[in-house]
Amino acid sequence: MKAKLSFATKPRRHEGRAKSFVVLCALVASWLLITLPSCTGADAKAPAKDPAPAEDTAAPAPKKAAAPGVSEYLDSTLCDGFDYPFGDGNGGGNYTSPDGRSFQGWYIATHTGENYSLGVHTGEDWNGRGGGDTDKGQPVFASASGIVKASEDFGSPWGNVVVIEHRFLENGKLRSVHSLYAHLDQLFVKKGELVAKRKKIGTIGTGGGAYPAHLHFEIRKESMLNHDPTYWPSSDGKDSKWVLQHYEKPSAFIDAHRTLLVPAREDAILIAFKKNYRMHLCSKGKVLQTFPIALGQEPHGHKQQQGDNRTPEGEYKIIQKSLGPFTSGDFAAYLGAAWMRISYPNRYDAEAGAAKGLITAAQKQAIVSADKAGKEPPKTTALGGGIGIHGWIDDWTDNGQQNLTWGCISMRNADLKKLYGMIEVPTKIIIRP
């Protein structure tokens, strides 16, 4: 297929062949009229001042001693999502009290960060709608898969407590949180056990008679992972603001993480690491092939707006494919053998851009909606767009300084042809620093 395609790439070599930016604009306009839908590439814009050649300006990617490798992203025990730890898993459901009465629904009696008689609350206290001890003995489930870090009686008022560590991917970044379930009547798991989501771990209790029956449920952020299960910030001089910085609001967290990507379950997924200029094609938890890649002219840091020449970092999808050769104008040659569009910007990019005032609320919603639907996001906002994977006009040196494009990922043409035939739309791609 011969086609003309706009792209987020600024040639750095053979600059004598490049015309003016007007030529690129004409190329984009003609492309819109005759070939693939909506492929303009809002980032296809030269910087105000031409940078020096890559080998003169780019510094090698900084080395991070503890940076995770591809195997950690292919861990089959990563969480595939979070549920509510009681009832039907969706925050509701009916139950039968110890005396045989039936009740429908659950509610939060005390919220995260709320000041009350015992200090600042660190989670959510969930009660059955019947009140009192009507929910005593109701099952408590693991909110997500993970490793049990604690399962024991800590005495009144904590009572039986279970703590589970969960590892998961959020927008391509590996994260860990601890969920804590307190005042339990019975315990059904042991420390060190790997549990699945919705595994029955205990039953609702009273903390050894300290309270009416309810479930005290916390989700502790990374900064809290080394604290004892019974750590109580109010006893350590911490206030509400501190609590909200170190503890998630469980309901909001669960609602935002109902479904999560587990790369080990994907038939095909791309995982790219900017630090060593490598991209891995993986399937069902195994690396099938590794390819050298080139990046944007500014190789460090996540893309945040049009014209910053950075390659995005996050979780995206391949949403378009087009096989070259591409024609009409000198710039087309820099696409090389093929073009595969990446779904930048995603909802996380939109949220960050809106928070910084770079895009409007309406633009944010349009990007979020496109991301959820797996469609092409708007690419003419201040966040930029037109990011993809493509070839190059010639070979480039694999020396850890191949910073060539306006934000795209570039591959050697032979590698790109091979990859093109191995993946389909919409293959997921994770791009990491």
Query: Is residue 76 domain-resident?
Result: no
Q: What is the CATH number of the domain that holds 141?
A: 2.70.70.10
Query: Is residue 378 domain-resident?
Result: no
pLDDT of 346 = 97
Same domain, 65 and 130: no
Nearest to 348 by CA among 175, 122, 113, 111: 175
pLDDT at 28 over 50: no
When pLDDT is cut at 50, 70 and 90, the band that residue 12 belongs to is very low
Same domain, 216 and 119: yes
Nearest to 386 by CA among 8, 33, 34: 8
Give 271's strand partners: 280, 430
pLDDT at 159 over 80: yes
Q: How far apart are the C-alpha atoms of 330 and 15, rounded to whole Å?
A: 10
Least-confidence region, from 20-29, 223-232, 396-405: 20-29
pLDDT at 283 over 80: yes
Last residue of a domain, one of 256, 272, 301: 256
Q: How far apart are the C-alpha atoms of 419 and 410, rounded to whole Å?
A: 12
pLDDT of 62 = 43
Last residue of a domain, one of 241, 256, 271: 256
Q: What's the whole-number mean pLDDT along residues 239-262?
A: 98
When pLDDT is cut at 50, 70 and 90, the band that residue 66 belongs to is low
Q: What is the CATH number of the domain that holds 398?
A: 2.40.440.10
pLDDT of 279 = 98
Burial of 105 (0-12, 13-18, 19+ CB in 10 A): middle
Same domain, 115 and 244: yes
Same domain, 192 and 238: yes
* Averaged pLDDT score across all residues of the chain: 87
Q: pLDDT tens digits for 343-367?
A: 999 999 999 999 999 999 999 999 9
DSSP assignment of 354-394, as one string? Answer: HHTTSS-HHHHHHHHHHHHHT-PPP-SSTT----EEE--SS
pLDDT at 211 over 80: yes
Same domain, 37 and 102: no
pLDDT at 13 over 70: no
Same domain, 224 and 310: no
Last residue of a domain, one of 201, 221, 256: 256
Same domain, 22 and 138: no
- The answer to whether 126 and 108 have CB atoms below 8 angstroms apart is yes
Domain that includes residue 222, residue range: 94-256
Query: Is residue 370 domain-resident?
Result: no
Q: pLDDT tens digits for 314-328?
A: 999 999 999 998 887
Q: What's the whole-number mean pLDDT along residues 127-149?
A: 98
Structure tokens, 274:
């900017």
Q: What's the whole-number mean pLDDT along residues 215-241?
A: 97
Same domain, 42 and 172: no
Query: Is residue 350 domain-resident?
Result: no
Query: Is residue 209 domain-resident?
Result: yes
Q: How far apart are the C-alpha atoms of 107 and 180, rounded to whole Å?
A: 18
Same domain, 273 and 410: yes
Same domain, 188 and 224: yes
Query: Is residue 78 domain-resident?
Result: no
Query: Is residue 6 domain-resident?
Result: no
Q: What's the whole-number mean pLDDT along residues 411-433?
A: 97
Give 147's strand partners: 165, 194
Same domain, 270 and 123: no
Looking at the structure of the chain, the number of domains it has is: 2
Same domain, 252 and 139: yes
pLDDT of 106 = 98
pLDDT at 245 over 60: yes
Q: pLDDT tens digits for 46-63?
A: 322 222 223 333 334 444
When pLDDT is cut at 50, 70 and 90, the band that residue 122 belongs to is very high
Query: Is residue 368 domain-resident?
Result: no
When pLDDT is cut at 50, 70 and 90, the band that residue 422 belongs to is very high
